[in-house]
Amino acid sequence: MPARSRRSAADGGALMHPTQLPQWAIDRVIARHGRRFIFDRIEPARTALVVIDMQQFFTQSDSALAMPEAREIIPTINRAAEGLRAAGGTVAWVVTHLSEGAREWRTLTSVAHPGERADVVRAGLSAASPMGELDPALDRRAGDLFAVKDRFSAFLPGASPLPEMLRARGIDTVLIAGTLTNVCCESSARDAMMANYGVVMLSDANATRTDAEHLAALAGFLATFGDVQTVDEALSHLAVPAGAGR
């Protein structure tokens, strides 16, 4: 497993996922596009930061499925949101809400969350549960979009109103952040690409349970489906009009 990188002692020495992608994936992009970044000019007015499933069910330490890695990326997500908003872009928050008997429940109970775990997941991600709400440390603003999904992917047809909301704002490029990197985030990113969006997965604003899963998901996505950038790289690629601040 790749070694984790550590934040500074001032940040408590918390463990973070590495962001250095395997060279083979980078080489493939360069061979195809002649440059490292596929999207090296991002139009803010046509771009949305789509934040997936940053709910208390994953971020809070007292949750049955607590994931410290998700909690750690909140400041990075907030920084991405602030930077894109300042440049004239859109921020969209997406949550998963499940209900027993609904169409998604059959798949989740038979494959992803069998047995007693299924009841824990359904209870934690129900619309009535506080654990199903966004983490309060996230910087959600009044002008942001908010959408509920009932599948892993927010861009699967019929799973969420998000695609229609984005199209109504003229959005054709999405920056994907949230949790889990290799489940709902990757599923959403791949489906967005196949729905003709330009897609960038933010390597330091996604989180999952292990470094290996995180890097494998990002490398696979970069090799075929879209771009992978850090938040700083993506913000540096914003094509901000002259005279506008970031």
Q: What is the DSSP string of the chain?
A: -PPPEE--GGGTT-EE------HHHHHHHHHHHSSS-S--SB-GGGEEEEEE--BHHHHSTTSTT--HHHHHTHHHHHHHHHHHHHTT-EEEEEEE---TTSHHHHHIIIIIS-THHHHHHHHHTSTTSGGGSBPTTS---TTSEEEEESSS-TTSTTT-SHHHHHHHTT--EEEEEEE-IIIIIHHHHHHHHHTT-EEEEEEEEEE-S-HHHHHHHHHHHHHHT-EEE-HHHHHHTB-PPTT---
Let me know if residue 164 belongs to a domain: yes
Structure tokens given for 141? 């603003």
Let me know if residue 24 belongs to a domain: no
pLDDT at residue 5, as a whole number: 41
Let me know if residue 86 belongs to a domain: yes
Structure tokens given for 172? 């054709």
Report the CATH number at residue 191. 3.40.50.850
Distance, CA of 137 to chain centre: 16
What is the largest distance, in Å, between two alpha-carbon atoms of the chain? Answer: 57
Let me know if residue 35 belongs to a domain: no
Name the β-bridge partners of 147. 94
Distance CA 153, CA 5 (A): 29
Residue owning tokens 């990075």: 76
Q: At 204, phi and psi to the nearest 5?
A: -100, 10
Let me know if residue 34 belongs to a domain: no
Let me know if residue 50 belongs to a domain: yes
pLDDT at residue 3, as a whole number: 37
Distance CA 86, CA 63 (A): 34
pLDDT at residue 139, as a whole number: 97
Let me know if residue 107 belongs to a domain: yes
Let me know if residue 122 belongs to a domain: yes
pLDDT tens string, the chain, 246 residues long: the values are: 333 443 433 344 456 898 999 999 999 999 999 999 999 999 999 999 999 999 998 898 887 778 889 999 999 999 999 999 999 999 999 999 876 555 555 566 555 566 666 677 776 677 778 888 999 999 999 999 999 998 889 999 999 999 999 999 999 999 999 999 999 999 999 999 999 999 999 999 999 989 999 999 999 999 999 999 999 999 999 986 555 543
Provide the phi-psi class of 101: left if phi over 0, else alpha when psi is between -120 and 50, else beta.
left
Domain of residue 115, residue span: 41-237
Count of domains observed in the chain? 1
